[in-house]
Structure 1
């Protein structure tokens, strides 16, 4: 006890500044709890320590935005707000977030849709009455709207305000805080109406609106005012037995579930509440929160006098803090809001227009990974003037995933392994590339035929192959250790993932060899795997034509490295034009292989090579002609797929289908979406083998990848903590230093974001 008091006295000494700590409250009940906190705090501290700052001043506000404004103008100091309001406070009002509430699931909350048993499912929401916990709030607005937009249930013409689209979708609603722009969205609210500002509580974000917050949204449903309620799972964790019998959750797949099944039946996860303050008050607020938590938190020494995370004795719920809060996690100073809330969630908020957009919402920003792709993309943009396209440049497919997550780009076509990575990071499919004989010519295909291809999994796969020169008779698939290798790029399906089954044996030994990246470094003598490092970059040559020195592009995970991609791996096998810097075996895909071999001569890269100069290495140790890839390959590779954020699915899909139809009808066009020869490379933006793009908005990325490929990716990325060392050097996506970040719409939140490797050393992916 003495130790605690000494700590508190030290804190108070540092806090003393001749003024009170002012907490912003949103109801009379919060005022009562706040006043009791101040009274108890005074009582537990020695008289000698009491000064004016030792007391809490409780500042009553009309609503959450009034709180934010009071803190901004130095009329209050701190408040606990929903993550959506936290974002607005930081981005629009210049405040900072100092701490997060931590619940049993970390800082994450499940967004759930609740309805009376047997009355609704998630696919029949149009025209019903709805109650939401708050406008622009995580569980009542951001995640549900992101979910509905991703499923195309909501059609948002960006020329309209989103609030108007929602008011046309639901029959009537109560969404506290939505404002006066869409009266239908406040029609079901029951707060007092008055022309006197202090007496008007209708549809506002305060407890004076009966249907405010998650408990209020649930109350709205129970009172029979609404047909569905959108709220967070914390409000139903302690549902009574009769409520459990009378109400159920609406699941994304169209089924329903018991209220207790919120962890498997929800619309997504997002960050919970955070505590905001001014930048110059962050240290003081941090110390103040530390003090009250040590005294009155769940493990506080004075919790018998006052419970910080319990509101029952004041006749309400979630007063000052959520009652489900286990503790407050204090944050580092100057921490970016994206690291606090998560890049996925921040991208979702930007997509929903939380801070406006200087960029026309109709514009599609396509991510390019090389100068050659940029040239092709710019010509594409000139060819589809009716639909504005902007070309933005990333450094690799991984970088494009990060840019799309952070709303710096909108779409990119990714190979199968990167589709897995993007899917784990919350991106979703828009369209898949269709190859081979199963695809009719683009001008003969119908929308119905396109849909059938994916529905019945009729897409012809690409095959991974291992290629060697015919005269290198001693080489076979079983004796590649210690040789020079050529791979299309790091994380490539054929040259990295599927290859692991035939070379490093990553899945046979679950200890040290499970780290595929390190295993390849030890397995091959040297090689070129663009995007890697060490001896797997020694054969790479870069591109002297790229701006700056050749070394700047050497081993880059883009076409700026001459040995990148399928054509690059073939070039690597034969060596550069002078005949140096070559490999013994190339791992690539079978598509366009014969054309690529011909291109060696026509492009002036290497003369004298024809298809008969190469052979395939078969899994059984034999060799075969390059035309026999169907029976001699390392496995099928799912199609490359266009991925985007959930909130932009409709925009990207419409753009692609219009673009494809328009360009396909112009037979004399100088621009061809699926041809890249004129730009000096191949497979730019899309694979050149693509016949057309098949709609994939109705499928998950797991379905597109298929069970065998998905399970192989899971095994490799989740194998052991040993792999973490490799991913630290080559992270599939940027890894933050912050723990327990909130997730976003349709993304699993495991005390943070996607944990690829199962290691306790992995914090979270943004």
Structure 2
């Protein structure tokens, strides 16, 4: 067995790594000692041929992780393990590459938690308090908590100031190792040795020589009474014994507090764990070295009695070389993108926090448009406002908009209730809801339609079934289908209708669709306005037939709110002449047919309002942009109306035309706004229906490696 293990070690070393010595970067004396022991252990357990060919290790002492990154870039060191936030910085700003990822007992991710001494503090009252953080740009100690505070607008970050200044203004004093060069108050609580000699200065550095560095350091900062709150990850809570744990509480996002054991429901978000980085031209050697070290000294390594890769207690510290809670390392392939390693949500958060420096994206709002008509209206909007710049970005459908927002290619879009459900499942959050009430009464001090507006009521629109008065081919709406059929809406439609136009579908559900003429090559049955039978107006066009009177449907399922206006526009738009509201009837559940005016007693159900949704980090920025837009545009109603689409040849472009104003909802979750009944109905359907977008969003960096 020993021979087989040695053969495997030699086998994983290609001719390219002969004679290579891996230089591991360390940031403290304790880490240097552990690295030196690892070097000795490799020599002990491997034969001389394997050691000289591959497994020689030297330890390069530095004073911080930032110094490590610089030394690796300059080819004065080769490898270091970093927190996920630092991994991103090393890859995107300094050209390094990730070669391995730490996996913990419950996956490759951590939960950020805010720990306080048992007191009256809550997450809404942190301003002016003293804070302890694991490190600047660290996942649980910086990015996730700041992302949460910004998304709730507890932390105000002005466009013209760096984020570090906003954080400095928010907390009265902090220890954020690694932030020394940006804002002095962010280091006021740190305890590391100060020196004018760079190599001997450990104050506020990302080094174990700073007593308040890392997760244990942040907890030490709290335990010693220097800080009021410590931002760490859930793994760090294991170091607090059960009796001592009664003295501490977690701060939950809803303003409550919880015991340390309740971190799964009481946390500030989830993000990736640590990873190993190196230079791109060294990645093959680094991977093979890590494979050999893990096979020998990992949790299941054959020589773990000689040395333990993921244990640091015997060196008088914790998390040396690797996180002590690491179960195993996953070696990453060559072609993996950093967003696959860290996750789309996390990468978008880091960009939002300025981890790549300032860019044009930081000063604009990118709105998602799904058709030529929407693009034209959006560009008119951009020209009409005098607030932050607006950029109009094209997508193929609402689902594609969700993908683009998640991938940080656009920022916001108004989604119908079903797509809002999907977006919520994909980690997006609501900013405002479209308000369809009679009038918008603004908060005190505002003017009609322009100020911050909230309401306990979310006026709905109603779904109706419309038929031509002259048609008698449809007599009833049957809802009796077996459970298996009901689970898949496409099967329901296929059983009831022999052919349909259901934009975004396939097969017989697209046979009535006619495509578009606006753009050459427009796909028939496309899930956007370029399919002329898309949306409320499109369903009505389908009912009356194309301009020649052919290609029509027998029943149209649409929303009631602008039905009569759309009937009038059939003639004015040149689609079909002579149609009046009198020519149509509503089909009721019980088989009755009634005039359009009786929709309140003859409808298929209420539909929650459209929601503008975005990534959590952008909630405040998108909300401010929309409020400024409303205020600016209200002063010039004849030039551009945000809730009017007829000048562009369609209806409900960007927003529903029935919208009176936009209602503040970022303090509510999407499930609350959609309502429990609607939410459960949609969830039932999606639980047994394949969805590409939900599959895309379900990619989880916590479990895929």
TM-score by length of 2: 0.95
The aligned runs of 1:65-214 (5 Å cut-off) are 65-214=66-215
What is the deviation of 1:226?
0.4
Matched-pair contact (CA < 8 Å) for 2:54–2:289: no
CA distance in 2, matches of 1:396, 1:519: 23
Structure 2 SS opposite 1:318: coil
Structure 1 residue 624 corresponds to structure 2 residue 594: yes
1:539 to 509, 512, 518: 512
Q: Structure 1 pair 625/270, CA: closer, same or farther in 2 (3 Å)?
A: same
Q: Structure 1 pair 207/199, CA: closer, same or farther in 2 (3 Å)?
A: same
Partner in structure 2 of residue 528 of structure 1: 501
Partner in structure 1 of residue 635 of structure 2: 665
What is the deviation of 1:609?
2.2
Partner in structure 2 of residue 636 of structure 1: 606
Structure 1 residue 467 corresponds to structure 2 residue 466: yes
Q: Structure 1 pair 243/521, CA: closer, same or farther in 2 (3 Å)?
A: farther
CA distance in 1, matches of 2:567, 2:548: 17
Partner in structure 2 of residue 614 of structure 1: 584
The aligned runs of 1:10-29 (5 Å cut-off) are 10-12=11-13, 16-29=17-30
CA distance in 1, matches of 2:440, 2:600: 17
The aligned runs of 1:220-619 (5 Å cut-off) are 220-359=221-360, 361-437=362-438, 439=440, 445=448, 450-451=453-454, 453=455, 456=456, 458-478=457-477, 502=479, 508-509=483-484, 514-517=487-490, 520=493, 524-546=497-519, 548-549=520-521, 552-619=522-589
1:691 to 660, 674, 688: 660
What is the deviation of 1:162?
0.7
Partner in structure 2 of residue 731 of structure 1: 693
Give 5+ residue unaligned stretches, structure 1: 480-501, 743-750, 753-762
CA distance in 1, matches of 2:660, 2:248: 49
Q: Structure 1 pair 468/332, CA: closer, same or farther in 2 (3 Å)?
A: farther
What is the deviation of 1:693?
1.0
What is the deviation of 1:284?
2.3
Structure 1 SS opposite 2:662: strand
What is the deviation of 1:537?
2.3
What is the deviation of 1:466?
2.1
Structure 2 SS opposite 1:713: helix
CA distance in 2, matches of 1:384, 1:150: 24
Partner in structure 2 of residue 701 of structure 1: 670
Structure 1 SS opposite 2:141: helix
CA distance in 2, matches of 1:527, 1:171: 63
Q: CA RMSD in A?
A: 2.3
What is the deviation of 1:441?
11
Matched-pair contact (CA < 8 Å) for 2:102–2:108: yes
Matched-pair contact (CA < 8 Å) for 1:131–1:221: yes
What is the deviation of 1:282?
2.2
Q: Structure 1 pair 50/374, CA: closer, same or farther in 2 (3 Å)?
A: closer
What is the deviation of 1:478?
3.8
Partner in structure 1 of residue 621 of structure 2: 651
CA distance in 2, matches of 1:612, 1:733: 45
Matched-pair contact (CA < 8 Å) for 1:362–1:651: no
Q: Structure 1 pair 91/416, CA: closer, same or farther in 2 (3 Å)?
A: same
What is the deviation of 1:522?
6.0
Give 5+ residue unaligned stretches, structure 2: none
Q: Which digits, 9 at most, give the CA deviation of each residue in 1:444-487, with x for residues without a partner? A: 74789932x2xx2x2220111222223332314446xxxxxxxx
Q: Structure 1 pair 612/77, CA: closer, same or farther in 2 (3 Å)?
A: same
Structure 1 residue 741 corresponds to structure 2 residue 701: yes
Matched-pair contact (CA < 8 Å) for 2:442–2:450: no
What is the deviation of 1:629?
1.8
Q: Structure 1 pair 14/325, CA: closer, same or farther in 2 (3 Å)?
A: farther
Q: What is the aligned residue count?
A: 702
CA distance in 2, matches of 1:425, 1:303: 41
Q: Which digits, 9 at most, give the CA deviation of each residue in 1:541-585, with x for residues without a partner? A: 222231x23xx3322221111111110111112221112222222
Q: Structure 1 pair 273/441, CA: closer, same or farther in 2 (3 Å)?
A: closer
What is the deviation of 1:346?
0.8
Matched-pair contact (CA < 8 Å) for 1:504–1:520: no
Partner in structure 2 of residue 494 of structure 1: none
TM-score by length of 1: 0.88
Aligned structure 1 segments of 4 or more residues deviating by more than 6 angstroms: 440-444, 446-449
Matched-pair contact (CA < 8 Å) for 2:387–2:625: no
CA distance in 2, matches of 1:155, 1:735: 29
Structure 2 SS opposite 1:353: coil
What is the deviation of 1:519?
5.4
Structure 1 SS opposite 2:81: strand
CA distance in 2, matches of 1:150, 1:49: 53
CA distance in 2, matches of 1:591, 1:441: 23
Farther-moved stretch of structure 1 (356-365 vs 205-214) = 356-365
Structure 1 residue 675 corresponds to structure 2 residue 632: no
Structure 2 SS opposite 1:366: strand
